[in-house]
Structure 1
């Protein structure tokens, strides 16, 4: 098939970007996958095939199990909190029209900060000897926050123990503070796009404001909610900078996550194959959320 001049020009403009993506995205993913099944666990490269040895080691490793457990609880608490707070604030702004622009800017301000800055600030705020904790100590309250090594009640599946660490709640608070503004902006945009005539029609039929939101508005915001869930899950499953800046792996790994474990394993322990295996597992976890959503979205727009 002969290309037209416009098609040829478009291909030439796209070629550099496609080449860079092929090398620095898919090429490096392939390289990481190969390293993960090699014996390269020292400073000297050893690319001999090791099979699934590195993966089997990780799933039997207590620290990796703790990281997966913390990631699950962090993801669930983070997503639920961001959705509930973002939606509640959006509905509040929708009900009170005055000062919306000011409040939106206030809620969106944390998003202008990096997770590293957020982690450092909240580390200071929640430290037992600084921040508002001194005020609480006046009343006899001794909060430990991210230094608490206690595990709340949970359950055990095989050799993996699932229990909510108290310290992970401190990290969730910091992450929710930063990302609630994004959820708020999404829901405000969704509420703005709903025709006011739908609300008026529901009022004429005798529906209360609560019924209007529950029966009319919230179902129409379902696509927004799904988008927020996917984006927040993507952030939480590969979280690294916030936790590393705020707590590191924590005492007894109570705030450890695969991202922190991967960094320390690869660049401090020089276990490159193990670190690559952690990276591939994180890629799979993110793909489990992202790929079905992308497929559903393509079908919905086709």
Structure 2
């Protein structure tokens, strides 16, 4: 994949206070990139710098190799963005809103408008007035508006705010589809960790303006060769006593017993349990949720109430 958004040592200082502190990361074409952090961490400030709404104190931001500082017009022409809420004329139809937006950019044809409408699934309602739209439909119309000029990057700040579960799922599905079909780099800022886990390919966590970590949703960074497994057996107490005698610590869990093993130990543990007439129904690796990983990386339990 190719990096289409690059932040290098970006810092923002306001009244002597560092709001963003030496932030660096890259976003690749075709991926949905989550931007996470507690309230006040600097997510929206960073997004505003990427789209040029506020300047950076130092550092560099490049879109498709073009510098926001040195070639703002060239860089921002590759970006579509909704910061907070899409701005729409509610007394006009969805289609009329897109026509108004199209006037701001040269060479946007009727075919391009129709393509954007189709991509976000609004074909049947596009000629209705926006005031009749649900919040989810307005978000989708805002995304269509952001896609008219064929951007390489789509940036959405809290796109699921105020949506019901059905609306959240709609937006999630459309963003995944856009990343795949259009090879877009999509940056999504949100505090809904469960939704980000289903939507994103990778995520960055910032706290107090600093980058904490960048990880893939699919993989976890493991500090050792051992992983935690759930093992469902017919007699949990006997299994725990047996494993303890062989130097393997475990404890009860609602899904069975929970044990820490190296991969090469699994066949031996299964054989040990079976040889002692214990029935093993299942053994599965424990996958930490994005919420657990977030709290581990930020290392501040009180953050949970602000996420």
Tell me whether the two structures share a fold, i.e. TM-score over 0.5. no
TM-score by length of 1: 0.25
TM-score by length of 2: 0.25
**Which of the two has greater helix per residue?**
1
